[in-house]
Homo-oligomer: A and B are copies of this chain.
Amino acid sequence: MNQPSKSSSSPSLRGPADHDIRDQIVAAANEHFSQYGYGKTTVSDLAKAIGFSKAYIYKFFDSKQAIGEAICANCLAEIVAAVEQAINVEDLSPTERFRRLVKTVIATGVNLFFNDRKLYDIAAFAASESWPSTQAYDAQIKRFVAQIVREGREIGEFERKTPLDETVEAIHLALRPFVNPLLLQYNLDFVEEAPTLTSNLILRSLMP
């Protein structure tokens, strides 16, 4: 067996999947990237930060971009977590759940933009290049939408004539300007009204 044990899902990773050093690299990258930005951080900087040589980094990551991917994935996972927490509350109507989904996804994204701009820039670039992390994020949000719509239909709160797939796809498309980090930055002017306006529009279209 010449091939080193690869991580379960993620590509462009090298060496043992769960390794102390890997976590150290990610931690250092998170600090450096968010402080100086992706472009101004060199791989040597990260190596120095954890007290190893640059070459050693490449035992764990395929490329600098792969490190960016990891940091970006963390970033987006936080948004997903925030949304999950917001909508997974007992005794919430699908309507209310959906409102919260929209509100939280926008608020968390905007927060990232203003309070962690350097990390946001990575996420935006990732979105522009369709990195796996971005696709996973997108898919996760879509899953949340599908879950809420399905529940709403079962309860009888939402209409059932339109194919579920079409509904979910359309909703996802309408939310894209605020879900996708690359697009969000061009829609900041609408961030105040958008949650209510868009939620209302979509919920009206879901009415039985």
Residues of A within 8 A of B (CB): 128, 159, 162, 166-167, 169-171, 173-174, 176-177, 180, 182-183, 186-187, 190, 193-194, 197-198, 200-202, 204-207
Contact in complex: B200, A170 (CB < 8 Å): yes
Q: Which residues of B contact A183 (CB under 8 A)?
A: 177, 183, 186
Return the contact of A201 from the options B171, B176, B186 (Cβ within 8 A).
B171
Closest to A169 in B: B197
Return the contact of A194 from the options B171, B173, B186, B207 (Cβ within 8 A).
B173
| Distance of A201 Cα from B198 Cα, bound (Å) | 11
Contact in complex: B200, A201 (CB < 8 Å): no
Closest to A182 in B: B186
| Distance of A37 Cα from B49 Cα, bound (Å) | 46
Closest to A174 in B: B174
Say how many copies of this protein the assembly contains.
2
Q: Which residues of B contact A169 (CB under 8 A)?
A: 193, 197
Q: With a 10 A CB-CB cut-off, give which of A166, A167, A197 has the most chain B CB atoms.
A: A197
| Distance of A182 Cα from B182 Cα, bound (Å) | 12
Q: Which residues of B contact A207 (CB under 8 A)?
A: 207
Contact in complex: B190, A173 (CB < 8 Å): yes
Contact in complex: A174, B162 (CB < 8 Å): no
Q: Which residues of B contact A202 (CB under 8 A)?
A: 201, 205
Return the contact of A173 from the options B162, B170, B182, B197 (Cβ within 8 A).
B197
Contact in complex: A162, B200 (CB < 8 Å): yes
Cβ of A76 to closest chain B Cβ, rounded Å: 17
Closest to A178 in B: B173
The 8 A-B pairs at the shortest CB distance, nearest first, are namely A205-B205, A204-B205, A170-B201, A170-B197, A201-B205, A174-B174, A177-B177, A173-B197
Closest to A159 in B: B204
| Distance of A162 Cα from B197 Cα, bound (Å) | 11
Closest to A197 in B: B170
Contact in complex: A187, B176 (CB < 8 Å): yes
Contact in complex: B176, A198 (CB < 8 Å): no
